[in-house]
A and B are shown apart, each in its own frame.
Chain A
């Protein structure tokens, strides 16, 4: 794959994508599900009731205690992974451009997902979501992903909440929603995250940032042009204004992060200047208390 070189794939081979049990699907898969059934992982005992499958009676416990108890196992299911890829105009900024990093991350999530037999859907969004998202079911579909991502250019404004609404209206099955974006739009994120959380999705927000967004290096009399809307504003940019700008962006990102967490999501920040392996390790790092490596 052009987006993932051999080194990246070797790193990703050691990674595992965990999904909250309540967000798993119905097919047999590699994720823990909220159901206790005939799995391989022992979960608990319960008293035998009439009609239970006698094959699951723990005879050794009966021999020791003289009571019939049933052995219960965790049921492992597969998961839907929805990759919401920001392809708005602001993703064209940065060095390298944020869209390139976002494509690479989307490819990484897809690679890890299909490798553990999850069903991956890549959903580019700007002001609307793509009419025909790309669905991948196995490693054999990865070439389609590369072609698909290559055709996506960064353009247009950001309406994340509208994109989430459209996603919901299309009946997207519950699963893991990975939002890959720079979040450089002032509104729509909190509602979108809340809506995703309410739909039962496990949310993971990967914010792709660049130095220009957080710490711009230009000063003077400038005509600022919006990369998404082409709106133009004349400003005299000085140290004071730069400081105020940093505060505004930081406040916005903190609001987005809080909204993400309130929706039960996980917040990850990467920078375009980060080395690829470090970036992947951060993105696929397990939440505290769990190990991401297989």
Chain B
């Protein structure tokens, strides 16, 4: 067997057909035209006197014919590529992009379909002794097909080829391909079939086959749903749209909670512009939302990518939260706790706190201690501290009129919280331990710290709530809500990753994918398809909206183009044939007897 689409039998048949064709053309070209002359003797004398010295004239036509035939056979052996040493010889590792943009369509054909067709075309030109491997360049590069010389293997690999909803890691894929070529020990090349190129040095020769043309798309670039901290039990859905087009477009935006429509609106987006829409006031214990763009119209064009027209989001169910609130008295903090949905707050004075034993404390989900120290030895898993002067995570000293110079906005305890321009009269500063995360910083002073140790989460704020205007802002209840949420999640065994490519930890529980089918452990290592996954009773939304961007333009007009500096194959073949004809003409046209 050969990896090329032609077996040895087919090769022999092609060689035979080529030989017959060349022979036919040769004989056709040499079919003489009758011409009556006065006396042929003079022609014979002229022919004999002009006969080349270095070869017998009678042998030259056959010699030229054999040269023609030999070169034609070499063409066949090389499967049509005469660029010896530069063509498809030896090992070829095909890096096939499997990112979301490869789902882009043009004239009804997806980029990935075009790419697989180019791969097959390339493999058809592979020499008889060549081997091929395929690297799937998805969000996580992987070897889709190990080195093989059996075309059936490739067909099987390409038959089930699916795209990721996230971006392709071409750099990683090229690195993997380079290692495969090097390990093979044979001369080889890397064939990158993608809709974009990357600056990545490889030891092996790299050939790019770009696919795709400049296309337009309207995309959902963000879709979130969360509980409204200001309205207990309600949630807000927010969607952000963007036009990656030079033309105006419009689409019908629908946000559905299962079969229940939450929003159905026609949105018009100017060229390159975006829009943000919010739907709120929905009350539900839990929700599994899907935002979808439908009936997309772009002036003079069409939406080329479907995967960015849909995005999932999940509103987790309300779980009763038992809070033990220890405070000498704080109306702002009490109000902030009160708005936490489904919260059950038990307020006690600091003096009563010491009388509670560990079992009594364990009955509460979260301890919120206002100006009350957390004694050493109390190992409650979820604690939120405000101005702790002693005990665990105690402040190391005061900080007068600090200014917020930095905040860790990416931390879940501060998600969505903005502290721009707040005024702080007094605060405590913390001495951090290794592993502590500083949430709010004033210069070198840590004004808020989050500590996570196995099985425990603690958040400590040094802000004096009686001397700051933060408590009067919307950010305060949000900060309290996020802090409670993060601290209470210490008991959770299932964190909530939401970006594609992240793992989904599910212990021994069964995970069902967006299509309702079980998701294997291998697939859970890196989620590639966006949608809502179910782990037991919990729903997790994996969204690819963060990867929504303009479609790579690929090759101009979709034409085949490689980085190979040699001219196209057809030109080379034509030049070779022209050269052969000139050679034969030079040798034979001087005239001689057969």
The answer to whether B43 and A182 have CB atoms under 8 Å apart is no
The answer to whether A225 and B42 have CB atoms under 8 Å apart is no
Complex formed: what's the CA distance from A55 to B526 in Å? 149
The answer to whether A244 and B50 have CB atoms under 8 Å apart is yes
Where chain A touches its partner, the secondary structure class is mixed
The answer to whether A234 and B593 have CB atoms under 8 Å apart is yes
Q: Of A220, A221, A234, A244, which is within 8 A of B46 by CB?
A: A244
Interface mask (A25-42 → B, CB under 8 Å = 1, otherwise 0): 000000000000000000
Among residues of A, the one whose C-beta sits closest to the C-beta of B44 is: A233
Determine whether B590 belongs to the interface, using a CB cutoff of 8 Å to chain A: yes
- Total chain B interface residues with beta-carbon distance under 8 A: 28
Determine whether B38 belongs to the interface, using a CB cutoff of 8 Å to chain A: yes
Complex formed: what's the CA distance from A226 to B42 in Å? 11
Complex formed: what's the CA distance from A252 to B42 in Å? 9
Query: Hey, which chain A residues are within 8 Å of B36, CB to CB?
Result: 93, 224-225, 227
Interface mask (A165-191 → B, CB under 8 Å = 1, otherwise 0): 000000000000000001011100000
Complex formed: what's the CA distance from A248 to B45 in Å? 7
The answer to whether B42 and A186 have CB atoms under 8 Å apart is yes
The answer to whether A227 and B39 have CB atoms under 8 Å apart is yes
Interface mask (B36-56 → A, CB under 8 Å = 1, otherwise 0): 111111111111011000000
The answer to whether B42 and A240 have CB atoms under 8 Å apart is no
Query: Hey, which chain B residues are within 8 Å of A227, CB to CB?
Result: 36-39
The answer to whether B33 and A220 have CB atoms under 8 Å apart is yes
The answer to whether A90 and B39 have CB atoms under 8 Å apart is yes
Query: Hey, which chain B residues are within 8 Å of A252, CB to CB?
Result: 42
Least CB distance, A269 to chain B, in whole angstroms: 15
Least CB distance, B43 to chain A, in whole angstroms: 6
Least CB distance, A200 to chain B, in whole angstroms: 31
The answer to whether A238 and B589 have CB atoms under 8 Å apart is yes
The answer to whether A223 and B38 have CB atoms under 8 Å apart is no
Query: Hey, which chain A residues are within 8 Å of B35, CB to CB?
Result: 218, 222-225
Least CB distance, B494 to chain A, in whole angstroms: 85
Interface mask (A188-232 → B, CB under 8 Å = 1, otherwise 0): 000000000000000000000000110010101111111111011
Among residues of A, the one whose C-beta sits closest to the C-beta of B30 is: A221
Q: Of A228, A232, A245, which is within 8 A of B42 by CB?
A: A245
Where chain B touches its partner, the secondary structure class is mixed
B194-213, CB < 8 A from A: none
The answer to whether B40 and A231 have CB atoms under 8 Å apart is yes
Least CB distance, A241 to chain B, in whole angstroms: 3
Least CB distance, B417 to chain A, in whole angstroms: 91
Q: Of B34, B37, B589, B590, which is within 8 A of A216 by CB?
A: B37
The answer to whether A236 and B46 have CB atoms under 8 Å apart is no
The answer to whether B40 and A236 have CB atoms under 8 Å apart is no
Q: Of B39, B46, B47, which is within 8 A of A247 by CB?
A: B46
Complex formed: what's the CA distance from A245 to B46 in Å? 5
The answer to whether B590 and A240 have CB atoms under 8 Å apart is yes
Query: Hey, which chain B residues are within 8 Å of A244, CB to CB?
Result: 46-47, 49-50, 591
Among residues of B, the one whose C-beta sits closest to the C-beta of A222 is: B35
Least CB distance, A156 to chain B, in whole angstroms: 13
The answer to whether A184 and B38 have CB atoms under 8 Å apart is yes
Determine whether A274 belongs to the interface, using a CB cutoff of 8 Å to chain B: no
Interface mask (A63-104 → B, CB under 8 Å = 1, otherwise 0): 000000000000000000000000000100100000000000
Complex formed: what's the CA distance from A233 to B37 in Å? 11
The answer to whether B37 and A93 have CB atoms under 8 Å apart is yes
Among residues of A, the one whose C-beta sits closest to the C-beta of B50 is: A244
The answer to whether B37 and A212 have CB atoms under 8 Å apart is yes
The answer to whether A240 and B39 have CB atoms under 8 Å apart is no
Determine whether A235 belongs to the interface, using a CB cutoff of 8 Å to chain B: yes
The answer to whether B589 and A233 have CB atoms under 8 Å apart is no
The answer to whether B47 and A226 have CB atoms under 8 Å apart is no
- Given A236-B589, A236-B592, A238-B590, A221 and B29 touching (CB < 8 A)? yes
Complex formed: what's the CA distance from A39 to B109 in Å? 115
Query: Hey, which chain A residues are within 8 Å of B42, CB to CB?
Result: 184, 186, 245, 248-249, 252
Query: Hey, which chain A residues are within 8 Å of B46, CB to CB?
Result: 241, 244-245, 247-248
Least CB distance, B27 to chain A, in whole angstroms: 11
Determine whether A11 belongs to the interface, using a CB cutoff of 8 Å to chain B: no
Interface mask (B334-345 → A, CB under 8 Å = 1, otherwise 0): 000000000000
Determine whether A270 belongs to the interface, using a CB cutoff of 8 Å to chain B: no
The answer to whether A212 and B589 have CB atoms under 8 Å apart is no
Among residues of B, the one whose C-beta sits closest to the C-beta of A90 is: B38
The answer to whether B594 and A234 have CB atoms under 8 Å apart is yes
Query: Hey, which chain A residues are within 8 Å of B410, CB to CB?
Result: none
Q: Of B39, B49, B592, which is within 8 A of A185 by CB?
A: B39
The answer to whether B591 and A237 have CB atoms under 8 Å apart is yes
Determine whether B32 belongs to the interface, using a CB cutoff of 8 Å to chain A: yes
Interface mask (B553-594 → A, CB under 8 Å = 1, otherwise 0): 000000000000000000000000000000000001111111
Query: Hey, which chain B residues are within 8 Å of A234, CB to CB?
Result: 32, 593-594
Query: Hey, which chain B residues are within 8 Å of A216, CB to CB?
Result: 37
Least CB distance, B121 to chain A, in whole angstroms: 39
The answer to whether B38 and A222 have CB atoms under 8 Å apart is no
Query: Hey, which chain B residues are within 8 Å of A226, CB to CB?
Result: 37-41
The answer to whether B38 and A240 have CB atoms under 8 Å apart is no
Among residues of A, the one whose C-beta sits closest to the C-beta of B37 is: A224
Q: Of B30, B591, B594, which is within 8 A of A238 by CB?
A: B591
Query: Hey, which chain B residues are within 8 Å of A232, CB to CB?
Result: 40
The answer to whether B50 and A241 have CB atoms under 8 Å apart is yes
Least CB distance, B587 to chain A, in whole angstroms: 10
Query: Hey, which chain A residues are within 8 Å of B47, CB to CB?
Result: 235, 241, 244
Among residues of A, the one whose C-beta sits closest to the C-beta of B61 is: A236
Complex formed: what's the CA distance from A234 to B44 in Å? 10
- Given A185-B39, A241-B590, A223 and B34 touching (CB < 8 A)? yes
Determine whether B509 belongs to the interface, using a CB cutoff of 8 Å to chain A: no
Least CB distance, B61 to chain A, in whole angstroms: 9
Least CB distance, A226 to chain B, in whole angstroms: 4
The answer to whether A225 and B34 have CB atoms under 8 Å apart is yes
Complex formed: what's the CA distance from A182 to B46 in Å? 19
Query: Hey, which chain A residues are within 8 Å of B522, CB to CB?
Result: none
Complex formed: what's the CA distance from A93 to B593 in Å? 23
Least CB distance, A270 to chain B, in whole angstroms: 16
Least CB distance, B58 to chain A, in whole angstroms: 11
Least CB distance, A217 to chain B, in whole angstroms: 11
The 9 closest A-B pairs by CB, nearest first: A241-B591, A90-B38, A244-B46, A223-B32, A238-B589, A245-B46, A184-B38, A240-B590, A226-B40
A sample of 20 inter-chain contacts (CB < 8 A) reads A93-B37, A182-B38, A216-B37, A222-B32, A223-B33, A223-B34, A224-B35, A227-B36, A229-B40, A234-B593, A235-B47, A235-B593, A236-B590, A237-B591, A238-B589, A238-B591, A241-B590, A244-B46, A247-B46, A248-B45
Residues in chain A within 8 A of chain B (CB atoms): 90, 93, 182, 184-186, 212-213, 216, 218, 220-229, 231-238, 240-242, 244-245, 247-249, 252
Residues in chain B within 8 A of chain A (CB atoms): 29-47, 49-50, 588-594
Given contacts A185-B39, A224-B40, 18 further A-B contacts (CB under 8 A): A93-B37, A186-B39, A212-B37, A212-B38, A213-B38, A218-B35, A221-B30, A222-B32, A224-B35, A225-B37, A227-B36, A229-B40, A234-B593, A235-B594, A241-B50, A241-B590, A245-B42, A245-B43
